[in-house]
Amino acid sequence: MARVYNFSAGPAALPVEVLERAREEMVDWSGSGMSVMEMSHRGKEFMSIAEQAEADLRELMAIPGDYKVLFLQGGASSQFAMVPMNLAGATGKADYINTGAWSKKAIAEGKRYCAVNLAGSSEDSKFTTAPGQADLALSPDAAYVHYTPNETIGGVEFPYIPDTAGVPLVADMSSTMLSRPVDVSRFGIVYAGAQKNIGPAGLTVVIVRGDLIGEPLAGTPTMFSYATQAETGSMYNTPPTYAWYLAGLVFQWLKERGGLAGMAEVNRRKAEALYQAIDASGFYTNPVDPPCRSWMNVPFTLADPNLDSTFLQEASAAGLKTLKGHRSVGGMRASIYNAMPEDGVQALIDFMADFEKRNG
C-alpha cells in the first residue's frame, strides 16, 4: 500500500488506522450485516454510533454538561449565518475580530443579520499577526464576539483566548479543534467544519452553551435553528451519518493516543521543527509574527517564486503532496494536522533542505 504525505489544508489526511478500520467495517458493521451508510439514522445501531461519538468528543474536550454538541451539515460557512441568526437577536449587535480570509467571510455574512462592530483587526500588518487583548475594542452590548482562533490560509493563530468580560465568545475552530486541549467553558460557541482534524467533509461540529439556545431571528430556516437541532439531537432531518461515524473513529483514535494533551505535544514538536527549518534557511520565509504562528497551517515562500512549480513537482514526485499555497496568497502551505505523522514533517524538512542545496 502506497500512502503519500498529504499536506492538504482540507479535506485533509485522515489517520490510516481510521481508514483501515472503516474498510474492515465497510460492508458489515459489527455483525449488523449492513454498512453504516445503509443504516437508518434512527435505528439502534446508528444511535449507538452517534451517542458513542458524542460521548468520546465530550471526554476528549472535557465539554461541560451544560453545552450541547451538534452534528450538522453545511460546513463552517453555514455557521457564519447560523451564529448571528441564533444569537444576534439579543441586542442586534455583534463584535468581530478580523485576522484574515475566514474572519472576513464570517464578518460579511454577519453583516446580513446584525450591526457588526469591528472590535479588532490585523489587516494593517497584512494579517501576519493577531491583535492583542489590549488592542481589542469590545462593545459591552454586543450579543457575542466572533473570532477565528486559527486562520487556515494565513497561518495565523491567536496565542491567547480573548477575554470578553462576559459577552459570549464564538470561535471558528475549523482548523485547530482537537489539535490541543482547550477550555471550552471560555466559549459560548465553538464550531468547526470536520474536514481537517475531525473527519470527512460533510459534517460540521457545533458546541453551544445551553443558555444561548433560544428563539432565532424571524425568518430563520428551521434547519438553521440551534433550538431545533438541539431538541432533535441533530436529527431533525437525516444527519451526515457516515461522516459522523468516521468522526467517531477519529475520536477513538485520539483517545488511544493520549487524548488532546498527547496530540498537543506532537503538534508542537512538528510545528517547531518546520518553523526552525524555515527560519534557519536563507531560502524559505514565513511572514507570520512568531508568537502567532499556526501549529496547523504553515505557509512559506521560496526566495525565487520562479522555482515554485519545480518545487511542487519534485515534492510531489517524492510523495509530498498538496503543498501549493492558497490561490489568494501563492507560495507554499504545509498543513500538518493531527493525522500528519512526525515522519511526514521530517520528510518535508529533508526535501526542503535538499531542494535549497540544489537551487539556493
**Residue ranges in contact with ligand PMP by CB under 6 A:** 10, 75-77, 102, 148, 152, 172, 174-175, 193
Cell reading at 174: 475549523
Exactly one of 29, 68, 95, 102 is catalytic; name it.
102
Residue 295: closest CA among 184, 188, 177 = 177
Q: 332-335 and 297-302 as β-strands: parallel, antiparallel, unpaired?
A: antiparallel
What's the distance, Cα to Cα, between the start and end of the chain in Å?
34
Instruction: Give Cβ neighbours of residue 119 (< 8 Å, ≥ 6 apart).
Output: 95, 96, 97, 136, 137, 138, 139, 142, 145
Exactly one of 29, 56, 95, 172 is catalytic; name it.
172
User: Please, which residue, 105 or 257, has the CB nearer to ligand PMP?
Assistant: 105
Distance CA 264, CA 51 (A): 26
Secondary structure E strands in 58-209: 67-72, 93-98, 115-121, 145-147, 150-151, 156-157, 169-172, 189-193, 204-209
Q: How far is the CB of 150 from ligand PMP (least distance, A)?
A: 6
Q: How far is the CB of 75 from ligand PMP (least distance, A)?
A: 3
Instruction: Give Cβ neighbours of residue 8 (< 8 Å, ≥ 6 apart).
Output: 321, 322, 335
Amino acid at site 84: P
Q: Position of cell 500512502?
A: 3
User: Please, which residue, 49 or 198, has the CB nearer to ligand PMP?
Assistant: 198
Instruction: Give Cβ neighbours of residue 211 (< 8 Å, ≥ 6 apart).
Output: 66
Q: How far is the CB of 17 from ligand PMP (least distance, A)?
A: 24
Residue 229 CA from chain centroid, whole number: 21
User: Please, which residue, 20 or 160, has the CB nearer to ligand PMP?
Assistant: 160
User: Please, which residue, 119 or 177, has the CB nearer to ligand PMP?
Assistant: 177
Distance CA 166, CA 128 (A): 28
Distance CA 284, CA 180 (A): 27
Q: How far is the CB of 187 from ligand PMP (least distance, A)?
A: 15
Q: How far is the CB of 73 from ligand PMP (least distance, A)?
A: 10
Exactly one of 68, 196, 270, 324 is catalytic; name it.
196
Distance CA 28, CA 23 (A): 10
Q: Is 357 a catalytic residue?
A: no
Q: How far is the CB of 322 from ligand PMP (least distance, A)?
A: 13
- Rounded to 5 degrees, φ, ψ at 245 are -60, -45
Q: Is 196 a catalytic residue?
A: yes
What amino acid positions are annotated as catalytic residues? 102, 172, 196
